[in-house]
Chains A and B, each alone.
Chain A
Amino acid sequence: MNETVEKVASHRDYAGAKLGMWLFLLTELGLFFGPLLLYVMHDIRHPEAFHAASQSLDKTIGFANTLILLTSSLTAALSVASIRRGKTELTLIFIFVTITLGGIFLVNKYLEWTGKIAHGIYPGGDAFAELPPGEAVFYGLYFFTTGLHGLHVIAGMIVLAVTATLTAGGIVNKRDFVKLENAALYWHLVDIIWIFLFPFFYLIS
């Protein structure tokens, strides 16, 4: 079927593409608003249990992961700066580093999760059922929220990989780089959400 009904030339609207992306990021924040609200409500009810459970999380891994994501945000920003100057190769390198850092973050997360799961602390696990009420909710929220965030990291890596292909193919270039810019924006969002999650789950007292 030929699509003569389609609009002939899709005009480029840079500001529109950016606005749409910002609105989308807003909805992502709304998505994490729910679990964080639940967290605050439960924290008010079970302060001791939440403190105890929070102590058991590995702060070192959490802190390392925060640094990793912050660095990756920087490299994502640098990839945009490079394409603006027309340096395609440098752009690709920075995207590659960003994706790799995302991968390292996920590996850390995986180790952290499997550590807990090995001790039976996961929804449905033996130790989980024995936990005092508040702590169970803490871990429930921990797995849910970091899991949801992990899915966003994966999504971000896929988006970056796609933009890398587009950059290599010349579709993203010095004059038209809004796709890469939006991908980087998304990556910053993933980073910012983690910066909220980290103190909530690892540092409260």
Chain B
Amino acid sequence: MASEGAGYLGGGGGPNGLSSWIFSTDHKRIGILYLVSILSFFVVGVSLGFLMRLELISHGPTIMEASTYNSVFTLHGVVMLFLFIIPATPSIFGNFFLPIMIGANDVSFPKLNLLSWWFYMAGAALALATLALGPADTGWTFYAPYSLRTGTYVSLAVFAVFVLGLSSILTGINFVTTVHRLRAPGMGFWRMPLFVWAVYATAWIQIVATPILGVNLLLVIAERVFGIGVFDPAKGGDPILYQHLFWIYSHPAVYIMILPGMGIISEIIPVFARKVIFGYRAIAYSSLGIAGVGSLVWGHHMFVSGSSYTAGVIFSFFTFLVAIPSAIKVFNWVGTLYKGSIWLGTPFFFALAFIFLFSIGGLTGLILGALSVNVHLHDTYFVVSHFHYIKFGGAGFAFFAGLHYWLPKMTGRMYNARVANWSCLILFIGFNTLFFPMLLLGIEGMPRRYFDYLPQYSTLQIVSIVGSWVLVAGLIIMFANLLRGAFRGARTTENPWGGATLEWKIPSPPGRENFEKIPEVTKGPYDFRGLR
């Protein structure tokens, strides 16, 4: 049942000019703004990654110089992390669905929400401006002392990340307040969908951790512009302290990326297994556990930075500890599938791919968390592969799962399921062909960020490069199919998957007001009785 016109999307006489979008305070429209902008930057990030891989197809300069390569991997990191994967799930799906899922008509601060998007766009513009001026070549980590010395536009890139952080903080504040203040009658904390729990936990990390990154970046700017000396050994400063402040934020940032993705998977699994999710409270608590313990593990990035053995042992211990809540989630998802009546829909395939890839990412993370092994694997392709399994195989595939699960609700139209299933398979094959050889390369000692490599690495490098082509092909097929579905697909129903959460009780696409009358919630989010 579609609403008159196209609901919040306008049409049917509703306002639909550009300014009715970019100045809208409707959380659904803001979600779409993020969708369009974030996916555009994703294309930029993918292109940079693709070129990086292609460069390595032969020895010596192939399509770019070594210095360009440094800038390309820096920009690939900055774009993919700060413009794509950190904001993707919270800002798109969080914005669109968090209020609906708790039975609210909007977030607590709609104007602030719009401001967040503008900050996001400003940060993105600054980051891409460096591309034209002279991109930073420090890597996305901006490690001192190199970031203080290089002649590239580091200050501008760093400031761009600062502005993006501001956007992230404001979104976090909005979501925490919304969850506390705007839940519909009957929507107790223990009736919230697990996606809401995940975004809620993420929002807390955004609020607590992001300012520390922010001030660290300001310190880099102050150091570059004035030379205040805090990271400069010549003045008694210490560049290692930069690494501490950086990872105090940036390890929790990994959970900003992955937690909302886990939330999406926790929605999809029960719907497609037609079963109440196994261990609802365990999954909710494990989100909070990850947010808490995850803020105590940053030192595992610095095992070879001259930190003491004691510090190493402690950080290693906490790193192993944080694996437990993640594993709890995986076991509960698999437990939900057990004896479920499984429906093999596209979102479900993506969710399965997520579980597989995320498990590899998690297990390789444990290998890296072990002190002695880390010394051998530090700064090799093994690390590169590990975090791509987490961030792309995990957070990325979860985001794709979310696209296939929720886009029909957002647009009111369904994509072609066969093509979507094929794109999932091609992506899965391409991803593993691209990144699994990197694990082996890393064990054999191939360092990350190198422009060239020894002949014995050639075979695996070529396999990995071919994998990147397959992956890009998969992405093109997937996005073409989704785009076609969004504009020309068949009209879909209110509840195509038979979900029990509140977003499936309103029209596809939703009307301008989410709910004519705020609903009274009487049952849990995964109670499928009475649904198909």
Contact = CB atoms under 8 A, between A and B. Distances in A.
A132 B229 CA distance: 12
A136 B181 contact: no
A15 B181 CA distance: 8
A3 B24 CA distance: 8
Given A1-B15, A32-B215, A124-B227, A42 B238 contact: yes
A31 B211 contact: yes
Contacts of A134: 236
Interface in A121-147: 122-124, 131-137, 139-141, 143-144
B371 interface: no
A41 B181 CA distance: 40
B309 interface: no
A42 B230 contact: yes
B169 interface: yes
A30 B26 CA distance: 30
Contact of B218 (A26, A122, A148): A148
A31 B215 contact: yes
Given A1-B19, A46-B236, A136-B236, A6 B25 contact: yes
Interface stretch (B62-70, B102-110, B434-442, B446-454): B102-110
Contacts of B110: 7, 10
Contact of B237 (A13, A28, A140): A140
Contacts of B215: 30-35, 148
Interface string B245-259: 100000000000000
A137 B212 CA distance: 19
A7 B29 CA distance: 12
A30 B108 contact: no
Contacts of B211: 27-31, 33-34
A32 B234 CA distance: 25
A5 B212 contact: no
Contacts of A2: 15
Interface stretch (B131-139, B172-180, B355-363, B490-498): B172-180
B226 A124 contact: yes
Interface stretch (A16-24, A75-83, A165-173): A16-24
A4 B230 contact: no
A118 interface: no
B530 interface: no
Interface string B7-34: 0101000110101100111100100000
A1 B177 contact: no
Contact of B219 (A1, A6, A35): A35
A23 B173 contact: yes
A38 B245 contact: yes
B26 A123 contact: no
Contacts of B209: 30
B51 interface: no
Contact of A20 (B23, B109, B218, B244): B109
B228 A33 contact: no
Contacts of B245: 34, 37-38
B417 interface: no
A105 to B, nearest CB: 22
A150 B106 CA distance: 36
A68 interface: no
B183 to A, nearest CB: 12
Given A4-B15, A15-B181, A141-B230, A30 B23 contact: no
Interface of A: 1-7, 10, 13, 15-16, 19-20, 23-24, 26-35, 37-38, 41-42, 45-46, 49, 122-124, 131-137, 139-141, 143-144, 148
Lowest 9 A-B CB distances belong to which pairs? A133-B236, A140-B228, A30-B211, A34-B215, A123-B226, A136-B235, A16-B181, A140-B229, A31-B211
Given A15-B181, A19-B181, 17 more contacts: A7-B106, A19-B180, A20-B112, A27-B173, A30-B215, A31-B215, A32-B215, A34-B215, A37-B244, A42-B237, A133-B235, A136-B236, A137-B230, A137-B235, A139-B228, A140-B229, A144-B218
27 contacts: A1-B20, A3-B20, A4-B14, A4-B15, A5-B15, A5-B24, A6-B24, A7-B110, A19-B177, A20-B109, A20-B173, A23-B172, A26-B208, A27-B211, A34-B211, A35-B215, A37-B245, A42-B230, A123-B222, A123-B227, A123-B228, A132-B236, A134-B236, A135-B236, A137-B235, A141-B228, A144-B222
